[in-house]
Homo-oligomer: A and B are copies of this chain.
Amino acid sequence: MPKSLFVEHLEQQENQEIEDLFVVAQVERRTTREGNPFLVARLKDRSGEIEAIAFDQVDHLEPRLERGQVVRIRGRVERFNQALRIKVLDAHPVPPQEIHLADFLPTTQRDVNQLLQKVRELLNTLRNPYLRKLFQVMLADEALVERLRLAPAATSYHHNYLGGLLEHTQNILRMADTLARVYPHLDRDLLLAGAFLHDIGKVEEYELTPAGIEITDRGRLLGHILLGVELLNRYAAQVPGFPGELLMRLQHMILSHHGELEWGSPVRPALVEAQVLHFLDNMDARIWMFAEAARHPRAPGSRWSEWWKPLGRMVFIPPPLNEETEDLFG
């Protein structure tokens, strides 16, 4: 059962009783001055966080409010010290299969099916039969496709939400498609294949739980570049006769896409398609960051953003020029 009531809506429920799913972000057992135990928790969903408190049935509730657990909370919204909180009346853990991750984690605002459709279309224009077969195999793997629908592109820097990887991948594929027209000497097949594969390791780099996006041990110890190469190897092994030379070039596309050693690629691009892929990857991430920064003006109405750390600068938020330019030939 999906959520209907989100933290951001609770303001309107003051003094009402509510019941819905939340994930327990933190929980602590404390004692009142009178010596009675009570529970203080932080409950979370994709829209925000709220404090929860339970004075009654503490021993009953405590094992149900474990950190990281999704629980159905019945409670009363009340205001305390100017802040809203939920007074917990009852709580029931929710089994994993009933949880919709997108209720708890921020999600792309794009339509994931459309993104996926566009990716399929572009991969369908490839001419090399082995590449065509490779992507048929990959996109026929339901588990992979499902992970691709969900994976974020990063935990913080850019596209850091469910579906972010797909959004990022689709952008790069579309740019790659048009670049191949501006520069006809590029190997279009290789460029688009690389665009699809470059971050594929991220489906194994992140672990998605209602409580947040975590990096897996393999993600930290091996990195998504190696994970991507290994994943490519596994699928290529399912295509009979997949040429070793082609596999090597695809591996190189993944390995070198960070562009420079100091950005985590163990080899630098030796193919122009690999170099181009690196630029497209970097450019899409930067465009995202500028847009994100522009959503954070340093003061209401300011033409400048906050100091934006991922960019190391403030970003200009230009007002439209329309008015002043209208009358030139008027």
Looking at A17-25, A101-109, A125-133, A144-152, the stretch in contact with chain B turns out to be A125-133
* Structural contact, A321 and B252, CB atoms closer than 8 A: no
The complex places the Cα of A178 from the Cα of B241 at a distance, in Å, of 37
Question: Does chain B have a CB within 8 A of A245?
Answer: yes
Cβ contact of A248, chosen from B217, B248, B262, B286, cutoff 8 A: B217
A25 to chain B, nearest CB (A): 12
The complex places the Cα of A245 from the Cα of B325 at a distance, in Å, of 10
How many copies of this protein are present in the complex? 6
Q: Which secondary structure characterizes the binding site on chain A? A: helix
A184 to chain B, nearest CB (A): 12
The listed residue with most B CB atoms (<10 A of its CB), out of A218, A229, A261, is A261
Looking at A38-46, A92-100, A276-284, the stretch in contact with chain B turns out to be A276-284
Residues of chain A from 288 to 330 with CB closer than 8 A to chain B in the complex: 290-291, 294, 303-304, 312-316, 318, 321, 324-329
Question: Does chain B have a CB within 8 A of A185?
Answer: yes
Q: Which A residues fall within an 8 A CB radius of B?
A: 128-130, 133, 171, 174-175, 178-179, 181-183, 185-187, 217-218, 220-223, 225-226, 229-230, 233, 241, 243, 245-246, 248-249, 251-252, 255, 261-268, 270-272, 275-276, 279, 282-283, 286-287, 290-291, 294, 303-304, 312-316, 318, 321, 324-329
11 examples of A-B residue contacts, CB within 8 angstroms: A129-B326, A171-B183, A217-B316, A220-B304, A220-B314, A221-B267, A222-B248, A225-B266, A245-B321, A261-B261, A271-B318
